[in-house]
Amino acid sequence: MAAEKFAQLKEYLDSQVIGQPEFTQNILIALLADGHLLVEGPPGLAKTRAVNALAKGIEGDFHRVQFTPDLLPADLTGTDIYRPETGEFVFQSGPLFHNLVLADEINRAPAKVQSALLEAMAEQQITVGNKTYELSELFLVMATQNPIEQEGTYPLPEAQLDRFLMHLSVDYPGAETELEILRLTRDEAMANSVATPSPISQQDIFSARKSVLGLHLADSLERYLVELIVATRQPGKYDPQLATWLEFGASPRATISLDKCARAHAWLAGRDFVGPDDIHAVFHNVMRHRILLSYEAEADGIDADNVLARILELVPVP
């Protein structure tokens, strides 16, 4: 039953975000794996629209925050407001108390704001003054970065990047897809919008998450998954050239994320077991932001995806 609801939600997301099936698939994977997304792509590619559509398809509320250099941590977390009529301070909650939060152009805000978001993502709580407030059990952050314009930005540190479940790359659509987008926006302007499916309850989402974690993963595949991560830390064991490309490998958080995402991918495909194809399908998105390349790799024009593809070639599938 839950699988059918998620299939309907996928269909609805695809009708709202034209030509980006992998993007909508990964949003659902993040929802099932209880993780956060970092999305990189030029402006105008329906990133905000995708989260907004997701909010309509599930039982939850959505808030968008435009990150700017003058943003303060309190603009995310909320702050204590003084009430002169009572002589007391009352906490006014911020955008992070919503279920779905879009952090638009996250790298435009300074480190203090990024660290406030980091606590929320890692601990699912925020601290204001000497008090700590729990966030909703259903809490998903989708942060965006614009790869074109980097002037006046604050690059995310590795510790914060590691908190994101996946790093997705979204590119411009093709000509045929853009025609469909044009027609969709015209239909919406004429109030001919697609019917929204019945929202999936939060309880159904939590139940689906347990089902995802209960999928069968063979011991040999579990070891293979770990070997893929270890290969980023000990590349010389597999290939001397690979060792010159990698400065630092992925943390154990990458292993946990790869396991969760592979399980979610298999569950969405209707299987009760995880196969090598499920691991391969999510490997690049889970690992892209977790490895640090050397100067040699950059000089040779090698990017993270090239390195990850080489690791998949070198580590034997059981």
DSSP the chain: -HHHHHHHHHHHHHHHSTT-HHHHHHHHHHHHHT--EEEE--TTSSHHHHHHHHHHHBT--EEEEE--TT--THHHHEEEEEETTTTEEEEEE-GGGSSEEEEETGGGS-HHHHHHHHHHHHHSEEEETTEEEEPPSS-EEEEEE-SS--TT--PPPHHHHTTSSEEEE-----HHHHHHHHHHHHHHHTT-PPPPPPPBPHHHHHHHHHHHHTSB--HHHHHHHHHHHHHHH-GGGT-HHHHHHEEE---HHHHHHHHHHHHHHHHHTT-SB--HHHHHHHHHHHHTTT-EE-HHHHHTT--HHHHHHHHHHHSPP-
Q: Per-residue pLDDT tens for 29-62? A: 999 999 999 998 888 888 888 888 898 899 888 9
Mean of pLDDT values over 296-317:
90
User: Does residue 179 sit in the same domain as residue 296?
Assistant: no
The pLDDT assigned to 150 comes to 65
User: Does residue 38 sit in the same domain as residue 173?
Assistant: yes
Q: Per-residue pLDDT tens for 225-256? A: 999 999 999 988 888 888 899 988 899 999 99
Q: How many domains does the chain have?
A: 2
User: Does residue 185 sit in the same domain as residue 220?
Assistant: no
User: Does residue 220 sit in the same domain as residue 115?
Assistant: no
For residue 310, what are the domain limits?
214-314
Query: Higher-confidence residue: 191 or 70?
Result: 70
Would 195 be classed as within a structural domain?
A: no
The pLDDT assigned to 162 comes to 87
The pLDDT assigned to 194 comes to 64
User: Does residue 174 sit in the same domain as residue 292?
Assistant: no
CATH number at residue 310: 1.10.8.80
The pLDDT assigned to 151 comes to 65
User: Does residue 127 sit in the same domain as residue 244?
Assistant: no
Would 204 be classed as within a structural domain?
A: no
Would 197 be classed as within a structural domain?
A: no
User: Does residue 153 sit in the same domain as residue 76?
Assistant: yes
User: Does residue 181 sit in the same domain as residue 241?
Assistant: no
User: Does residue 119 sit in the same domain as residue 242?
Assistant: no
Would 196 be classed as within a structural domain?
A: no
User: Does residue 173 sit in the same domain as residue 30?
Assistant: yes
- For residue 149, what pLDDT band results from cuts at 50, 70 and 90? low
Residue 128 clears pLDDT 90, i.e. is over it:
no
User: Does residue 224 sit in the same domain as residue 142?
Assistant: no
The pLDDT assigned to 192 comes to 62
User: Does residue 13 sit in the same domain as residue 147?
Assistant: yes
The highest-confidence range among 101-115, 201-215, 291-305, by mean pLDDT, is 201-215
- Quote the pTM value: 0.91
CATH number at residue 170: 3.40.50.300
Residue 269 clears pLDDT 90, i.e. is over it:
yes
